Structure 1
Amino acid sequence: MNNEVRYLPGLEIRTNADGEILHVITVQNARALHWQAGLPNNITNDQIRYNLNDHLGSSTLELDQQGSLISQESYYPFGGTAWWAARSAVEAKYKTVRYSGKERDASGLYYYGFRYYAPWLQRWINPDPAGDVNGLNLFSFVTNNPITHSDLDGRFYEGKDDPTEELITSTGDIIRYRGLNEFPEHHQKILKDALKKTEKIYKHALYLISNHPTENDDIMSSFFGQQHADIMHHVIESWRQTHLRVSEYRGRFGKGKFVGIEAADSKDNAYINPNDPHGRVVMNVDKIKKKKLHITLGHELSHLSNVTGSEVTGPDSYDYYYLFPKDLSKLTNGENVTNQNKYRAVAEAITSGGLTRDYFSKIQDLADEFETRVRALHSAPDTIVDLDTAITEFNRDPGIIAEMSSNNADSLIWAAQQLHKRYKEKFPAGPSKRARRE
């Protein structure tokens, strides 16, 4: 029998001709090594190993469960081993995660999923599966910039000069950065910090609504109306999906998903193209320092549904209306809403039936989507003949209000943010272990 490795989700089964059978369980940066047969000398079974990575995801240190050093490795820019130290040759043999967080096989090649990389050639041995989207050299590795760039699966930045980029430039916007690694370092940090905040918002919202649902009826009612209970499952699922998406974009998968532009129209902080198969977030580089960037990212990422190479299916939210605190007075009874949070106040005025044509004048570009959705949900769709009738019927029907608001990007992110705020007030040090079990 030859050496063989079988890869399952979170599990590797490794066998060799000597009869050794090794099961490797992987959870994030930790690996548990269990020998079913052929345990080597001087190694304890069920050994735990922790990988510490550099900025490119390369495994530089391996530690055991006591934090003692197992091995240390340094790499040349294009992936060759510069030096390697280990406390024993036997233990070092079982280090499989190496350069860029990938496995190096017996031939010395790194497998990235879509193709193999040869570090001694500093090139892929297979052409780019996407064609010439990243240039005419189909074998170039990270555009010859391995110090700051890394590749997730052999495709690097996807979509250069594709229809999505053509649409960006057709409006007069200029593409400055493709992929997070091309952004200036201070912008990278701001984006990463914002994504971390966004992830916490959805995480805490999910915790509160799952463990204390009735205690948060007031927030849910403000953002989704009096029939919020009917669409609670939809909101929870949308938050769960977006939380997974944000977590994914915080990791290595998200490095190629950000495009920095110099915008001709400076109004937009960020946007996505719903028809972009790669799920890129287009960032206005002049607006990256905005305080509410984490809200913007939570809003935009909820728009995504399917993204190439991702196992996450997003909620595919829409923009039926935005929450504009400055225009609260344009909503019916808007001045009488007493909620301290201005975004919640606007949402409550709208979901209580106070939407007006005057308020909509600022978001006229959403009128067609709003009108179409009201018509689709209305029991007599032929009566919805224009925006005015759509607004009237929206205000009259709590069911339509709840259904549309549950898939409205602004409502989803701001409701989650309000629950996140309450979570921090309720659990300033985090929930107790007992509360987490319950």
Structure 2
Amino acid sequence: MSQLMLYNLGHASNAGNDTNNNANTNSSMEDDDSYQLPTIYRCRAPIASLDCMEEFNGVESGVHCKVSTGTKEQLLTSCISSQSRLQQPSPGIRYRNLGKSGLRVSNVGLGTWTTFGGAGGPTNEETAEAVVTLAYDSGINVFDLSEAHSGHKAEIQLGRILLRRCWKRSSYVVTTKIYWSTKTEGRGLSRKHIIESVQASLARLQLSYIDIVMIHKVDPMCPMEEIVRAMNYVIGKGWVMYWGTSRWTPVEIMEAYSNCRQFNCVTPIVEQAEYHLFYRDKPELYMPELYNKIGVGLMAWSTITIGIVSSKHEEGMSSFLSRSSYKNKYSSFSWTEDETQSLYKEGSELKEKPVEEEPPVRKYSDKLRDVCALAERLGCTFAQLAIAWSLKNESVQCLLLGASSIEQLYESLQSLQLIPKLNSTVMTEIERILENKPSRPPMVSTLALR
């Protein structure tokens, strides 16, 4: 027994010696000292994207300028004078893939409607350049344009700003829209109109390509096949990288996707939709379903974040709830009227009820007053709470912010630090105040309808 144990110990200690356990080994190989065992290479998973590592490290080449430190005046001066992106983006800035594409965008983007003169924004190009520069230096890489809002002037001014700043083209994403309206001469979404609009936008922006072109509203007189083939053509030419939709219904998006699959065309990657505390059905019910099924992401905007109405408590109730404010102040943008129908659906129903019932405007004003009180308890403004609440929804991959001044943009960016404070208790309190959590209607059998 003792000999057997000694043999086993010796065998274990000399497991690498071939002469003790392999009688068939070549003698020349045993005597050759230069012989080495073959190296075993373990498999490694490659790094998918270096941008992902930058998110964790928070380091990027550029100037040393932190948003969270220093006074606001020093911050604005240093950011505007810098020629490159901040070493560390603003706290709360995250980068996500838009839809199920490989395009990475910041969780907030700059909607240039108010920046370039729309809805009472600044007409001074120097002020607009300061806003765009602060957005870029803070980590925002999405700049959204639309000829329906601010016209061709926005594309011209943004093109000049990008040309002067000399930023790396791969560091920012420019989105624009092809607008269909019966009030303009170039109406419709024909192949001719789409191609001419893309070429004109490229000339105004002075860019070699546009990152995303969105179709603003569906043309009922144009076949969907013609629209998707035209978008596939401009992408094939290299003028556009991706295409998306704006203010399309889920049925229309599915129709476009089906046509793209049928005719082997590039599918849309994003839908731009309205989303705020009082408009929730489409972004919360239908957009997650479209994302999971066909990979269409959500780029959201709201009347508060984009700066259409005031964020102050006194002015906010009247301008956000009064339908006449849209007609009087923004009569040229009549497309906003049908977007606010859901706010007054309950009001039309209550008109048929007895007079002693509370009027609908009063009910919404009470909700808004309670939300403002909650914002005060959290130490923020109503607009900041609205931005943080929208970004709390995981379906929102990019939320567009509007700013007519650097102070307004700075205030909006601070709302990103409020997102961790919106825990389950706060979100439950908001739901209790709003009482408008969307839910799908119950399934009704066709036999029961007979």
Common fold by TM > 0.5: no
Relative to the length of structure 2, the TM-score reads 0.20
Larger CA Rg, structure 1 vs 2:
2
Q: In proportion to residue count, which structure has more strand?
A: 1
Select the structure with the greater relative contact order (CA < 8 A; seq sep ≥ 6): 2
Q: In proportion to residue count, which structure has more helix?
A: 2
